[in-house]
Amino acid sequence: MIAIQRNPGVIFLLFLFAFFSLDVQAPISFYGTQFLGLFSLVVIRFLVYPKISSNSLKLFFCVVVLLEILCFLQNLYIKQEILILVYQRVIFLLSVGILLYDYLILTKDEVLKKALSIFIILMSVIVMLQFIGFYFLNLDRSLLDFGLLLGGEESRTWYSGNWLYRPTGVTSEPAIFVGVQFGLLTIQYLIDKDAKLSKLLGVLSLVLSMSFLGLILAGLFLIIVYSKNITNYIVGSFALFAFYIFSFEMINERIDKFTKGEDGSNNVKIEAFNYFISDPSITLFGYGFLFRSEGKPQFYDALLDLTFYLNSLTIFGVLIGSIILFYFFSFLFKSRTTIKEKMLILLALIKLSNPSVLFFTLFISLCFIILKRRNL
């Protein structure tokens, strides 16, 4: 008879990482991996390990009830159907994280290290193959797009016309890939500082994504992780300079567009924040998980992309958002983490900005698990 493994194994973790990372505009992604996939993992978790702590149960019911109440209150003045729909998705993702928590905390360090290394390498190789396929093999971008390959919408691979192709991995745009990959690298650094190949390929994939944020985070990661003495600072500075030279035209064009108010990615963030402070109700109680829908202004695209620090306020309002930020910073700075680890976590939350971001729940869960073990 085959004994069922009580602790999460590498295969379980790889499926978990994949389901929380495959983020393309395709039905198989939303209904398949995100809904049925994650739900299946929760079912397997309870079949293998049916126990759940009272604290997890309390948190589960509190999160569901409080978010449903907040959704109802915000809908009184937002009055958009998309708000309700996204709230239910967020509640589902958070519920998955909470219900899996007691099982994931049983994961052995070596198993988590191995799963992280394998998945980071896999994500990196996908981006590298997309980069090589387009620039060296002249493959059509449709053959490299996971969104199209899975029967969904085209990913945002182009920048400034057709001259620059940006690999997106298994996500719908480079910045989303950067958020996931940098989050994985951060988690890996918390538990496995000796990792070499996966770390190197992970940073390289951030650069190859051709994302402005990816280039910056790759440089900062190298400086933070390898800054032991003045030599490392010099090497890190040269690395940043090399990244700048590598993407000189893209970065300067991005800066020029931003100063002229033509950068559709960053200037809409300013409009999104102005929307937040435009109405006392929205400022106090937030605008919730509001996505852009048909007929709405372009700045709606940026409403949930203002970093964790601003989105905590804009989504939940200054009252609840301030409490969330106070608890977060209190927990982080009281935790047994080094300055380097704190910096990486803070940087990861630039793109993993809120619970509507698919990978956010897994990132927060694994961070809590790793840091809780240190406090035991």
Between CA 131 and CA 98 the distance in angstroms is 37
Answer whether residue 306 is part of any domain: yes
**What pLDDT, on the 0 to 100 scale, is given for residue 231?**
56
Answer whether residue 52 is part of any domain: yes
Between CA 178 and CA 182 the distance in angstroms is 6
> Has residue 176 got a pLDDT over 50?
yes
Q: Mean of the pLDDT values across residues 283-290?
A: 93
Between CA 237 and CA 204 the distance in angstroms is 16
3-state DSSP call for residue 222? helix
Please choose, from the candidates 289, 300, 360, 315, the residue with its C-alpha nearest in 3D space to the C-alpha of residue 84.
289
Tens-digit pLDDT profile for residues 166-175: 999 999 999 9
> Has residue 1 got a pLDDT over 90?
no
Tens-digit pLDDT profile for residues 56-110: 999 999 999 999 999 999 999 998 889 999 999 999 999 999 999 999 999 999 9
**What pLDDT, on the 0 to 100 scale, is given for residue 161?**
55
Answer whether residue 87 is part of any domain: yes
> Has residue 367 got a pLDDT over 90?
yes
- As a whole number, the mean pLDDT across the chain is 87
> Has residue 348 got a pLDDT over 90?
yes
Answer whether residue 5 is part of any domain: no
Answer whether residue 145 is part of any domain: yes
**What pLDDT, on the 0 to 100 scale, is given for residue 36?**
95
Considering its fold, how many domains does the chain have in total?
Answer: 1
Q: Mean of the pLDDT values across residues 324-329?
A: 96
Return the structure tokens found at 318: 């200054």
Q: Which amino acid is at 275?
A: Y
For 104, residues 6+ apart whose C-beta sits below 8 A from its C-beta are 8, 365, 366, 369
**Residue pair 145/173 in contact by the 8 Å Cβ criterion:** no
Q: Which residue has the tokens 């994961």?
A: 107
**What pLDDT, on the 0 to 100 scale, is given for residue 16?**
97
Please choose, from the candidates 105, 98, 97, 104, the residue with its C-alpha nearest in 3D space to the C-alpha of residue 13.
104
Between CA 130 and CA 166 the distance in angstroms is 9
Tens-digit pLDDT profile for residues 27-48: 888 888 999 999 999 999 999 9
Between CA 239 and CA 172 the distance in angstroms is 28
Q: Distance of alpha carbon 368 from its chain centroid, rounded?
A: 16
Please state, for a pLDDT cut of 70, what percent of the chain lies above it: 86
* Reported confidence tier of residue 274, pLDDT bands at 50, 70, 90: confident
**What pLDDT, on the 0 to 100 scale, is given for residue 2?**
43
Alpha helices in 171-286 (DSSP H): 174-191, 197-208, 212-226, 230-246, 248-259, 267-276, 280-285
Q: Mean of the pLDDT values across residues 1-26?
A: 85
* Reported confidence tier of residue 314, pLDDT bands at 50, 70, 90: very high
* Structural domain that includes position 21: 10-375
Buried b / exposed e over 76-100, threshold 16 CB at 10 Å, is: eebebebbbebbebbbbbbbbbbbb
Q: Which pTM does this prediction carry? A: 0.90
Q: What does each C-alpha distance from 53 to 45, 99, 150, 188, 370 come to in angstroms? A: 14, 10, 38, 26, 18
Q: Mean of the pLDDT values across residues 334-340?
A: 91
> Has residue 142 got a pLDDT over 70?
yes
The DSSP bridge pattern shows strands 158-159 and 164-165 to be antiparallel
Answer whether residue 292 is part of any domain: yes
> Has residue 3 got a pLDDT over 50?
no
Return the structure tokens found at 135: 């620039």
Answer whether residue 2 is part of any domain: no
Return the structure tokens found at 367: 């961070």
Tens-digit pLDDT profile for residues 206-261: 999 988 899 899 989 998 998 775 555 555 556 555 555 555 455 555 555 545 55
Answer whether residue 1 is part of any domain: no
> Has residue 23 got a pLDDT over 70?
yes
